[in-house]
Amino acid sequence: MEVLMPEPQIYVERTLAIIKPDIIDKEEEIEDIILRSGFHIIQKRKLQLSPEQCSNFYAEQFGKVFFPNLTAYMSSGPIVAMVLARNSAVSYWKELLGPSNSLRARITHAHSLRALYGTDELRNGLHGSLSISSAEKEIRFLFPEAILEPIPTGQRARDYLKLYVKPTLLAGLTALCKEKPADPL
């Protein structure tokens, strides 16, 4: 009887997470929640942005009434920026964050990070990318040395596995079978 295995699929997305200045002391606690939620922290750095850098980062918010307060708040102290990866990272991170208004989050999403760590709409504790394209742009902004190659999906992922992974595994397993070591590791 032949067991049919599903075709391996590679669905890994990256998103940007920022721990904002007022809750930087909760960094370890928040990272623990992130890791327990199935994310991998690919890159991480602690930095302090200037008001000009904050203005550039939040350029799409320019002209809105809260923009000056947002840039002042985000440049008021150090932040922790992280590149998170997992399947559907952007949507899962947004779900874990909850609504941007922390007061609303406490009512509608009581277990979300913003409900737990935020204080109001502006000081909501954490940032998350809104889409895959904004995540790529934001990651490039805060991690300029990062190489963001497109992650293969569908046929491209199957081709990659067939061309690179399967031959390597086959060669390794063949060598292992020929040697038959007492302790294979």
Q: pLDDT tens for residues 78-123?
A: 999 999 999 899 999 999 999 999 999 999 999 999 999 999 888 9
What's 34's domain CATH number?
A: 3.30.70.141
> Catalytic site residue 127?
yes
Alpha helix (H) residue ranges in the chain: 27-36, 51-57, 67-74, 89-97, 102-108, 113-117, 132-142, 154-160, 166-179
Indicate the DSSP class of residue 162: I
Total number of domains in the chain: 2
When comparing pLDDT for 181 and 104, which is higher? 104
Q: Are residues 135 and 165 in the same domain?
A: no
| Mean pLDDT value of segment 24-49 | 95
Lowest-pLDDT range of 13-17, 125-129, 132-136, 179-183: 179-183
Q: Are residues 86 and 165 in the same domain?
A: no
Residues in the chain: 185
Q: Which domain holds residue 170?
A: 152-184
Q: Report residue 8's pLDDT band, with 50, 70 and 90 as the boundaries.
A: low
Q: Are residues 75 and 132 in the same domain?
A: yes
| Mean pLDDT value of segment 14-24 | 96
Dist. CA 158–CA 8, nearest whole Å: 7
Q: Are residues 125 and 157 in the same domain?
A: no
Q: Are residues 52 and 98 in the same domain?
A: yes
Q: Which is catalytic among the residues 40, 109, 111, 127?
A: 127
